[in-house]
Amino acid sequence: MVEKTVLETIRHNCDISDARDNGIYSICALVLKLRNLYKWENSLEPWQEPESADLLAWIDRKEKFWQAMAEEPFAPLVLNGTEVEPFDQERINQGLGNAGLMYGAGYGRSLKSIFFLAEILKQELVEGCPVFLLGRESARELSSPFAMLRDGVIIIRRDPLRFFFWDQIQEHRAASRVAVRHALDHYGVLRDGVLDQERLRDRLDIIVDGEIPMFVHHEIGEMRQQTLDSATLRRVVAAFPDSAVEFVTRAVKDVLADTHPSGLVSSMVREQKEGSLGFYIGFLAGLRRVLFPEIGEAFDRFLEQRDWRLIEQARQECRSRMRDLAGKIRDLTERLDHEGAEHVLQQMHREVLVPLDLPIPALQGESAGPD
């Protein structure tokens, strides 16, 4: 059991983070995140929709609350009479003792501050990597990323992941319908080819638990791929925050993680997990979908031939292209040491963005996508 004052401080820091940085989201993404934050605060299941009037009144109160605290500094946590800075995860988790909880702090997209406190459901090693599976959360901020890599430790937050799956299944695009329905059929939630909402509610946790390895292997790939390292990403974010260059760099890094020999695509091929394959392709959106066209083409042929070698070939082809693109991004980022940011930005546009011929919806989708 964590002290009430400690929990209150964590929640307060979550509010400060949201007050400072809710503007990084598009209107649509912000509404979705606010709706899910409302559900969490009111202990609602993903499928339980609030009354529109109640939600709108809550959003209005929340925005006024944010306005009043946007300039506040993050507060230290007081543990055993000692103040600890809120980003000092190690000391804070040591101070929590054997409470069966994990405290997390860090930075997400566009350097939004992330804080959470959650119960630990399970701890295990996967391919030599420590993995923590977290359950019920008593503190969270707006973005609530459900899979993270922190200091070599993989953290999966099951609570936000449940909301992610529910929302993605409900809102999947026409372009991804075949892939998502392939996954849903694998989990038995279709009735006569149509999504059965009652079955989905009954089996949502089965789906989430069955697909957690997909996210674990993404983080393993993230940890082991060295083509585009975290230091390069941090420099890009610092120099070009919330820009097309940042979005592309993040997407390239994600696809490199997915296509790494230890990443999730290789894992799906080894274990021949058709449900994971369908969800991965169906949920692939924005820039990541643009950067990995091979997987969609391979999936169309896979449905006819059921040949996993098609998926493996797509992985290898994409990885080769992404390694070349990552090399350009890394080389250009190093020029920040002796060239102005504006000059490097122009080079990034000319040598990275223009050759990709990116459609505007891809950039918009990336901005609105999950953290």
- Per-residue pLDDT in tens (0 to 9) along the chain, 371 residues: 566 689 999 999 999 999 999 988 888 899 999 999 999 999 999 999 999 999 999 999 999 999 999 899 999 999 988 999 999 999 999 998 878 999 999 988 778 999 999 999 999 999 999 999 999 999 999 999 999 998 899 999 999 999 999 999 998 776 688 999 999 999 999 999 899 999 999 999 999 999 999 999 999 999 999 999 989 999 998 899 888 999 999 999 999 999 999 999 999 999 999 999 999 999 998 899 999 999 999 999 999 999 999 999 999 999 999 999 999 999 999 999 999 899 999 999 999 999 998 876 555 544 333 34
d(CA 277, CA 335): 39
User: Is the distance from CB of 17 to CB of 113 less than 8 angstroms?
Assistant: yes
Of 147, 162, 177, which residue sits at a domain end?
Answer: 162
Residue 10 falls within a domain, yes or no?
A: yes
The Cβ of residue 301 has, within 10 Å, a number of other Cβ atoms equal to 14
Residue 335 falls within a domain, yes or no?
A: yes
Round the average pLDDT of the chain to a whole number and report it.
92
Of 162, 178, 206, which residue sits at a domain end?
Answer: 162
The total number of structural domains in the chain stands at 2
Write down the pTM of the prediction: 0.90
Q: Do both 48 and 146 map to the same domain?
A: yes
Q: What share of the chain is helix, strand, coil (3-state, %, to 5)?
A: 65, 15, 20
Of 128, 162, 196, which residue sits at a domain end?
Answer: 162
Residue 187 falls within a domain, yes or no?
A: no
Q: Do both 131 and 22 map to the same domain?
A: yes
130-152 per-residue burial string, b: 16 or more CB within 10 A, e: under 16: ebbbbeebebbbbbbbbbbbeee
Q: How far is the CA of 211 from the CAs of 122, 158, 161, 163, 231, in angstroms?
A: 16, 11, 10, 14, 29
Residue 58 falls within a domain, yes or no?
A: yes
Q: Do both 126 and 275 map to the same domain?
A: no
- Residue ranges making up the domain that contains 96: 4-162
User: Is the distance from CB of 292 to CB of 318 less than 8 angstroms?
Assistant: yes
